[in-house]
């Protein structure tokens, strides 16, 4: 096995949830820009794989064949014959993982097969659930049908938590959902994605949106999914060991950048300790 094949394969993190639950805002927060043209965000599109790079986008059909695609016409991609759309960005987080933006699971105009045939690519999931309707039965039913191996590497995000202005109501919802999901996710976290995206100049305000806790857990998941971290050193040649250590170090460095773009490179992703 080559060093590249053994150590450089990045984990794939799927963004999932019901339609309009915040997946596009989450992608924007992670990448630091809108990954798709604004005019197609609300369109019914196939899964979109976002990887590091500057290459031209393309469409992959269900037979694995690649076809050039104009992102301004992505909504015209044939759902029945398209496995996914591949696009690229040079965002820091994409040096640690690929992001797979899935269609909304509750879209009545789209067959579940459109996203079901791609779920095997995912190593973990960031599931967005609108806090005002948190963890509906339809969401729980879909999640229960996914591979159990995803659970420990996945986060349930209660998005738009700022819409619930009463603190007691917030706590009640968070407590209920955490009790219902149990250990089906690594963590269930309240977060205001839009506020987090808008508070990138104010670190303390950014932390109050819930983005700090999210960044900390997401970093842990990416570290745990570092390729070949479970191989014993005795099973590697000297060159393979060096290459894998370098890959793991690179993943750790990249994961630490999942913070506000204008603050993150000089701050840790965990909240600063308060002074007495």
Where do the domains of the chain lie? 3-266
Successive 10-residue mean pLDDT values, the chain, 276 residues: 52 94 90 68 78 95 94 83 94 94 82 90 97 95 96 97 95 97 98 91 92 96 76 41 44 47 37 42
Pairing of strands 12-17, 82-89: unpaired
pLDDT given at position 55? 96
Rounded CA-CA distance 163/227 in Å is 39
Say if domain 3-266 classifies as CATH 3.40.50.300: yes
pLDDT given at position 76? 81
pLDDT given at position 243? 44
pLDDT given at position 74? 81
Residue 276, token pair as written in the block: 């007495």
pLDDT given at position 251? 43
pLDDT given at position 255? 44
Neighbouring CB atoms inside 10 A of 262's CB total: 11
pTM exceeding 0.75: yes
pLDDT given at position 163? 95
CB 80 within 8 A of CB 100: no
178-197 core/surface letters (b: 16 or more CB in 10 A; e: else) = beebeebbbbbbbbbbbbbb
Cα separations (Å) of 115 from 71, 144, 196?
Answer: 19, 15, 28
pLDDT given at position 137? 95
Spatial CB neighbours of 151, under 8 Å, sequence gap ≥ 6: 183, 184, 185, 186
């Amino acid at each position: 096995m080559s060093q590249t094949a053994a150590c450089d394969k990045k984990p794939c993190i799927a963004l999932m949830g019901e339609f309009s639950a915040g997946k596009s805002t989450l992608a924007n927060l992670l990448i630091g820009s809108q990954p798709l043209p604004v005019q197609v965000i609300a369109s019914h599109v196939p899964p979109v794989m976002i990887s590091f790079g500057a290459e031209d986008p393309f469409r992959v059909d269900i037979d694995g064949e690649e076809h050039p695609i104009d992102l301004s016409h992505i909504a015209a991609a044939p759902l029945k014959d398209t496995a996914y759309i591949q696009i690229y960005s040079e965002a820091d987080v994409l040096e640690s993982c690929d992001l797979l933006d899935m269609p909304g699971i509750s879209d009545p105009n789209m067959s579940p097969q459109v996203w079901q045939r791609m779920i095997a690519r995912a190593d973990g999931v960031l599931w967005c659930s609108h806090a005002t309707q948190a963890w509906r039965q339809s969401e729980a039913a879909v999640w229960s049908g996914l591979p159990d191996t995803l659970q420990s590497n996945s986060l349930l995000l209660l998005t738009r938590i700022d819409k619930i202005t009463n603190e007691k109501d917030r706590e009640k919802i968070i407590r209920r959902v955490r009790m219902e999901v149990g250990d089906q996710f690594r963590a269930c976290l309240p977060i205001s994605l839009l506020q987090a995206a808008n508070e990138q100049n104010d670190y303390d305000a950014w932390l109050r949106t819930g983005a700090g806790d999210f960044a900390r857990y997401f970093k842990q998941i990416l570290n745990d999914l570092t390729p070949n971290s479970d191989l014993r050193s005795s099973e590697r040649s000297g060159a393979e060991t060096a290459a894998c250590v370098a890959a793991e170090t690179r993943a750790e460095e990249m994961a630490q950048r999942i913070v506000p773009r204008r603050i993150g490179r000089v701050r840790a992703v965990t909240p600063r300790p308060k002074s007495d």
